Amino acid sequence: MSEKYSLEAVDNLIARDLRKFASEWLEFLAVQRKYSEHTLKSYKRDVENFLKFLNQHKGELVSIALLNSLKIPDFRSWLASRSTDGLVVRSNVRAVSSLKSLFAFLSEKHLVDMDAINLLRRPKIPKLLPKPIEEKTIINFLNAEYFFEGDLQWITNRDRALYYLLYCTGLRISEALNIKTKDVAPSMKIFGKGKKERIVLLLPVVIEKIKTYISTCPYDLNDGFLFIGLRGKKLLAPYVDARLEKLRLIYNLPDHASAHAFRHSFASHLIQNGADLRSVQDLLGHESLASTQIYTDINDYNILKIYENFHPLAKR
């Protein structure tokens, strides 16, 4: 089994039987469930953390038999230790999901039962409201003559195209930066979290900004990523947010202005202008309506008409 699908951080703390099935579990998540590399690493790290705790907590090598003997106080002690170590609630919520995933995999093979771990409730995450940028503020910013005075014109055009795209589609920054030039169209397929596919619609004003950027870019973008940096390499999310952080002071943007704030603004402004919640859910690519409910409840409309008729920039 490759190191990629092994718990090497706790290899000397777990028995051979558990080592084998833990590797099969990781491979199952990667190959069958098609989890992203980032999610896979998080699940792996969470389970390694649990097994390391268990080894110290019980004072013995961690085996399938030991996992099968655990009671609810053992799991609660683990969560308490994570909180003591300063890990935040959201991290603990994911850790519980990671551990339950491993146990469910072992249960399918009739190696452990789920009775004890099923009693473990996920910690409650404090509800944080999204922070959109005000409509007037964001539109004035989008239409600024330039963003940084010393930038080359194609860099200004690139940034404007990116900001318009984020605000007019609600794309996550990672989704926007993964777009290939050849895929740009009024209706595009986007693969979001968990490789979930959705259709994203580009308003004419967005296509116009993208075309202006492409026509002035000194690099050939046809066979690669749409958004690139000065050296012709793919633009990275930390770079985008670092630039936006500097632009906050120049354009008096709010402290929370970031690439993700464009996504919040997209959803909030659609709803403020009359879009219904389920349509916004589809546009954002949220799996659960609960994730979209933070933007408020309103009446139901046709999703395409919502986008064309109610987004502020669609009225231009």
Hey, what are 60's tokens?
């013995």
Q: Which of 158, 160, 172, 209 is catalytic?
A: 172
Q: Which of 5, 163, 213, 295 is catalytic?
A: 295
51-73 burial string, b = 16+ CB within 10 Å, else e?
bbbbbeeeeeebebebbeebeee
Instruction: Give the integer Cα–Cα distance in Å for 3 and 17.
Output: 16
Is 110 designated active site? Answer: no
37, containing H or E segment? helix 37-58
The pair phi, psi for residue 200, each rounded to 5°, is -115, 135
Whole-angstrom CA distances from 139 to 117, 148, 160, 309 are: 50, 17, 11, 17
CA triple 134-136-138, angle to 5 deg? 65
Is 286 designated active site? Answer: yes
Q: Which of 19, 263, 264, 311 is catalytic?
A: 263
Residues 6+ apart with CB under 8 A from 6: 19, 22, 23, 26
Is 76 designated active site? Answer: no
Q: Which of 264, 269, 286, 311 is catalytic?
A: 286
Q: Which of 193, 198, 243, 248 is catalytic?
A: 193
Instruction: Give the integer Cα–Cα distance in Å for 161 and 212.
Output: 8
Whole-angstrom CA distances from 228 to 54, 94, 213 are: 46, 33, 11
Is 263 designated active site? Answer: yes
Is 193 designated active site? Answer: yes
Residues 6+ apart with CB under 8 A from 128: none
Q: Which of 122, 260, 278, 301 is catalytic?
A: 260
22-33 burial string, b = 16+ CB within 10 Å, else e?
bbebbbbbbeee
Among residues 226, 263, 223, the alpha carbon closest in space to that of 241 is found at: 263
Is 295 designated active site? Answer: yes
So which residues are the catalytic ones? Answer: 172, 193, 260, 263, 286, 295
